[in-house]
Amino acid sequence: MLEALAPEIARARDVLDVGCGNGAYLTKFVAAPGNRTVTGVDLSFEMLLSARSRAGARCRLLRANVAHLPFKAESFDLVFASHVLQFIADDELDGVVAELARRVRPGGMLMATGRRGESARQMMSAFIGPDRWPEFRQMIFRRTMRRETNDLKDRFQQAFAKAGLSVEERAAPFTVDWPGVEEWLRIRWTPLIPADERDRADAMIAELGRAAASQTFTMRELLILGRRNA
């Protein structure tokens, strides 16, 4: 996905990965051509430990809430939020986007994913079958079902515009294998499942993995880009 942001990453002196999870993107920001400082923020202490193990000492890691970031205004050239805004309540979205936008320098960019990984869900539905998919979807993705009918892309764009950013879209094709899909499920979704239901969720993911283990999938991620004018 970061290939679609290569020009912005190359120019960025300071990058912030909000909701950095286990550091998968942090390592790519650090390894990209050019010199920059990279900072990762996440609410989960466990995810930050995983990110530290993956990225080592090559970046700064902090535990913080996306709605109350411990950084001065205009601290970063690129603020990256992959699958973060999808978890923000509708009535809090404008405030969170404004909080992120305040950290962007003039000429810099705020980037967010615009959908919930629909191509990944379509892939999982095909493998698990139409009879089992409703049960799987209810178990794994229940936290977003209430907002499933909303057009998040337009809602995110509106929030970006309210924050004073010039908005554009960019499609980012990428290829992923089953371990990558499983990692996405376990990092972003299973922590939201009640503890007494996680064994059942784990069994469902294992079942899906047996069907999809040898497969490689080409998907498309929609990126919402908000540029702060210089």
Tens-level pLDDT at each residue, the chain (230 residues): 788 888 999 999 999 999 998 898 999 999 998 889 999 999 988 889 989 999 888 899 999 999 999 999 999 999 999 888 888 888 999 999 999 999 999 999 999 987 655 556 776 777 777 888 888 888 887 755 444 444 667 889 999 999 999 999 988 777 777 787 787 777 767 877 888 888 988 888 888 888 777 877 777 778 999 999 97
Alpha helices in the chain (DSSP H): 6-11, 24-31, 45-55, 93-102, 118-128, 133-140, 152-162, 178-188, 198-212
Alpha helices in 37-116 (DSSP H): 45-55, 93-102
Domain ranges of the chain: 2-227
Report CA 8 to chain centroid distance, whole Å.
17
**Would you state the torsion angle of the CA atoms of residues 84, 186, 141, 98, taken in this order, to the nearest 10 degrees?**
-10
- What is residue 177's predicted lDDT score, i.e. its pLDDT? 79
Q: The domain 2-227 belongs to what CATH superfamily?
A: Vaccinia Virus protein VP39 (3.40.50.150)
**Would you state the torsion angle of the CA atoms of residues 43, 46, 51, 57, taken in this order, to the nearest 10 degrees?**
100
- This prediction's pTM: 0.76
With vertex at residue 37, the alpha carbon angle to CA 32 and CA 41, rounded to the nearest 5 degrees, is 100
Report CA 164 to chain centroid distance, whole Å.
22
Burial of 206 per CB tally in 10 Å (0-12, 13-18, 19+): exposed
